[in-house]
Amino acid sequence: MVSQALRVHYFQHIEGEGLGSPAVWLAKHHAQVTTTAFFKLEKGESEIVLPAVDDVDLLIIMGGEMSVNDEDIYPWLIAEKKWIRSYIDQGKPLVGLCLGAQLIASSLGALVKKNSVKEIGWWPVWGLVDNGVGEDHFKFPKELRPLNWHEDTFDLPDQAILLAESAACAHQAFQYGRYVLGFQFHPESTPQNMQLFLADVGYQELGGGSAADIYIQTAAQMAAVPAADFEAPNQLLERALDFVLRDSPYI
């Protein structure tokens, strides 16, 4: 019988964002949770100490406002991406969300770039991998309507499997190896942290009305989404955590 708790670490880039819906899953599994709060470096913290890779059983990489290419502005991105690559190379479980998926892609050598349009709001995402592809591939639903909030996209890393797309963004989800999943959207979002997103941008970039804003919903549209609509994306993320940890002795 395993006595050690599941050691979960998450990379946080936005103050106050937290884990969102995975917090419930982690509590259910009695996980030991730690974090690296990169945003503190922008608030005067002099140094961030990353954990030892061997001390992490599951890594969750959260979203953020910066681009993975902004190394001149945020030099800590260099160390973060190097750490992520080392973690992946050891074959350890990892889920990346929005910026987190882009950081995984960049760490694996794929190009991260501006998407043709911004995608902000609740938009359908369609699964691409046939359900009969095998137990080693994550089963993405035929359609999911999660919260999106991004202007960048990424090339698919070498040997990665594309799992999903949307009308605005060709690369919405991917799997790398057996234990790494990246989601361009925000399956972790709850009504509370969506309000944080809305307050953080001050509503100024939402619903501009131009042709380039075709995939940007208004703040009112987003705020009107009922709490029940968060359930399917949250459940998908729980399945993702189960999937990357399926060989772990801790669950």
- Yes or no: say if 236 and 141 are a contact pair by the CB < 8 Å rule: yes
Residue 27 has pLDDT above 80, yes or no: yes
pLDDT band at residue 133 under the 50/70/90 scheme: low
Look at residue 106 in the predicted model and tell me its pLDDT.
98
Read off the pLDDT of residues 91-120 as tens digits, 9 standing for 90 and up. 999 999 999 999 999 999 999 999 999 999
What's the N-to-C CA distance of the chain in angstroms?
A: 11
Structure tokens belonging to residue 14 = 């936005």
Look at residue 250 in the predicted model and tell me its pLDDT.
77
The rounded mean pLDDT for the chain is 91
What count of Cα atoms within 13 Å lies in the side-chain half-sphere of residue 134? 4
pLDDT band at residue 1 under the 50/70/90 scheme: very low
SS3 90: coil
- Yes or no: say if 214 and 115 are a contact pair by the CB < 8 Å rule: no
- Yes or no: say if 11 and 62 are a contact pair by the CB < 8 Å rule: yes
The residue-averaged pLDDT of 195-209 equals 65
Amino acid at site 155 = D
Read off the pLDDT of residues 149-194 as tens digits, 9 standing for 90 and up. 999 999 999 999 999 999 999 999 999 999 999 999 999 999 988 8
Residue 46 has pLDDT above 90, yes or no: no
- Yes or no: say if 73 and 31 are a contact pair by the CB < 8 Å rule: no
pLDDT > 70 fraction of the chain, expressed in percent and rounded? 91
The residue-averaged pLDDT of 51-72 equals 96
The residue-averaged pLDDT of 216-237 equals 94
Angle between helices 76-89 and 99-107 (to 10 degrees): 70
